[in-house]
Amino acid sequence: MEIKGKKAIVFGGASGMGRASAELLASRGADVVVVDRKGSGGDEVAAAFGGSYLEGDVTDFEGTEHIINQAVESLGGLHITVTTAGGGIAKRTLGKDGPHPLDDFRRVLDLNAVASFNISRLAAAAMARNEPEDDERGVIINTASIAAFEGQIGQVAYTAAKAAIAGMCLTMARDLGSLGIRVLAIAPSLFDTGIVKQAPEEMKAALVKDAAFPKRMGRPVEYAKLVLAIVDNPMLNGQCLRLDAGQRFAPK
């Protein structure tokens, strides 16, 4: 899909991989709406590249529907969604304080898997109304993690949530294939974003020592470059793409 002139929404677009994706899409001529939480600075991020900002929390499922409708109305359509919002907790299945709290597990699933599915289903409904370009109407990109495939000790909720995102790709792509809508996920390893960005360099080096090459944290723009490659190449569909420098997580 040609990026220039397309309409995009980036969830979690105020920082990190989401911000880099929003900025790079805009630099290639897309009209971009940044969605992020209150106090995220998303308004300033969007203003800097001539986009727009909507405040929202992806775990507010009804509110997300309102945000997507509002964004589609202001953009005049929707062709691309990128969802990077997510997160996890560090708790074992059975810890010193007893079994993993079920409410905590559910919250992580809501933040990652349920929110991503909610955005995807609503985006698909908007994209289905597009006039096709070379039989294509839209591209949905979600964010998994290599933890989906080799989760570490204490990551059981996060692993389950990200594995769900990875697992949805093919089925959702099959569901939407007749409409010309593609669905993919990106599974990053450790990227220099969020709380990790503040870590000492020696700690970062230890975390990525098992990577093949390069032995460093990923850069947000490298995630964004994969977003552009996905949008650009119509043969990419129904899969979760690892972005990990050949790294495999050890048990801990």
**Distance between alpha carbon 52 and the CA centroid of its chain, in Å?**
19
In a domain, 48, yes or no: yes
What pLDDT, on the 0 to 100 scale, is given for residue 42?
Answer: 98
**pTM, whole model, 2 decimals?**
0.97
Q: Phi and psi dihedrals of 26, rounded to 5? A: -65, -40
Q: Is residue 202 part of a domain?
A: yes
| pLDDT at position 192 over 90 | yes
Is 248 part of any domain?
no
Task: Specify the range with the lowest mean pLDDT, choosing from 30-44, 158-172, 186-200.
Answer: 186-200
Is 250 a domain residue? Answer: no
Residue 108 lies in a domain: yes
In a domain, 49, yes or no: yes
Q: Is residue 30 part of a domain?
A: yes
Catalytic residue (choose from 158, 191, 223, 249) = 158
Average pLDDT, the chain: 97
For residues 137 and 133, give the distance between their C-alpha atoms in angstroms, rounded to a whole number: 6
Two tokens at 100? 């993993």
Is 53 assigned a catalytic role? no
For residue 252, being part of any structural domain is answered with: no
Q: Which domain holds residue 154?
A: 7-243
> In the predicted model, is pLDDT for residue 195 greater than 80?
no
Of 180, 72, 57, 63, which is closest to residue 107 (Cα–Cα)?
Answer: 57
Q: Which CATH number covers residue 154?
A: 3.40.50.720
Does residue 194 have a pLDDT over 90? no
Local structure of residue 179 (DSSP, 8 states): G
Tell me the pLDDT band of 100, cut-offs 50, 70 and 90: very high
Number of independent structural domains in the chain: 1
Q: What is the pLDDT of residue 197?
A: 81
